[in-house]
Structure 1
């Protein structure tokens, strides 16, 4: 189980507890966090679950693969270092305390 903090573009925080094995996207969806649309349902076929990792977490989250990297090209204002698709991040105990910031909008 991990506690994850989602920070909306306006600064509103949502702290949720997430079972291991789910994705960060599923955590947002299941807890009604606004700003994560997840149009493709987690298939890495859109960029509507895009977030920015908090700088302290960039090196702690497993690296993105080529498919995620390609899909981030379609995200709203992607950041080469901090942008991630939440559907591609599996929750483990190692992610306890993860902080992600939501973009102004999803495309």
Structure 2
């Protein structure tokens, strides 16, 4: 699945992806959420932000270090008990893969 229209995928602001991903993490904890609405909403969000992200293989590994830097530099000021990056990244990656499986 490819979303968006340009190759700006997380390039200008690595935290853009985690703002979207934070929503996925929160949704994943809710038992009564219809997963079928997540990918269409994500696609609309990426199109609105002019992002081109291919989620068929999960999160973009080539941006992992850049996303980690944004996580460590931005989120501690916003989240009092920030979870460890790698565990959250893997959990979200697995969840996204489960949404894109046919």
Q: What TM bracket, shorter-length normalisation?
A: under 0.3
Q: What TM-score comes out, normalization by structure 1 length?
A: 0.23
Structure number with larger C-alpha Rg: 2
* Bigger helix fraction: 2
* Bigger strand fraction: 1
Q: What TM-score comes out, normalization by structure 2 length?
A: 0.24
